[in-house]
């Protein structure tokens, strides 16, 4: 059985402000990078085609291609001619997983009635033990 990457619909999540001082390609790049780093886009997730995303956002294909190229240069995505553009695995994947665990820890510790100081002390104890 072949594993197929999850195709993600990011267009509905992205907002491009044409009157912003930030160029449209940079807005797309920044928003996609944020989604990769915070774990909303996972390693192996396939991004929309350049033309598809450009059409949905009302941008020129070259604008989206430039954003994808910058993400690729940063090691956040990989582009393969037949497979399209997928989120790369790497340090950002570990960071995203740890950020998700940290958020869960914070929620659980607050639900258990710990204040932030007590929660941080638990982490420090775990670090000393490990």
Q: What 3 state SS string does the chain have?
A: CCCCCCECCCHHHCCCCCCCCCCHHHHHHHHHHHHHHCCCCCCCCECCCHHHHHHHHCCCHHHHHHHHHHHHHCCCEEEECCCEEEECCCHHHHHHHHHHHHHHHHHHHHHCCCCHHHHHHHHHHHHHHC
Least confident of 12-26, 47-61, 98-112: 98-112
pTM: 0.69
Please say if the pLDDT value at position 2 is more than 70: no
What residues does 86 pair with on adjacent strands?
Answer: 46, 78
Per-residue pLDDT band for 5 (boundaries 50, 70, 90) equals low
pLDDT tens by residue, 71-123: 998 889 999 888 899 999 877 767 766 777 787 888 889 999 999 999 999 99
CA distances 113 to 1, 50, 96, 122, 126, Å, are: 46, 47, 26, 13, 19
**Domains, in order of start, for the chain:** 11-89 (1.10.10.10), 92-129 (no CATH)
Q: What is the pLDDT of residue 39?
A: 82
């Amino acid at each position: 059985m072949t594993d197929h990457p999850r195709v993600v619909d990011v267009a509905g999540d992205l907002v491009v402000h044409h009157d912003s001082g930030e160029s449209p390609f940079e807005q797309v790049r920044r928003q996609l990078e944020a989604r990769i780093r915070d774990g909303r886009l996972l390693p192996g997730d396939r991004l929309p085609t350049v033309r598809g995303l450009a059409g949905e956002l009302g941008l020129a294909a070259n604008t989206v291609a430039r954003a994808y190229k910058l993400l690729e240069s940063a090691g956040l995505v990989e582009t393969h001619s037949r497979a399209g553009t997928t989120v790369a695995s790497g340090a950002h994947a570990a960071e995203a997983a740890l950020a998700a665990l940290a958020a869960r820890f914070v929620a659980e510790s607050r639900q258990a009635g710990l204040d932030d100081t007590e929660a941080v002390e638990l982490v420090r104890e775990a670090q000393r033990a490990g």
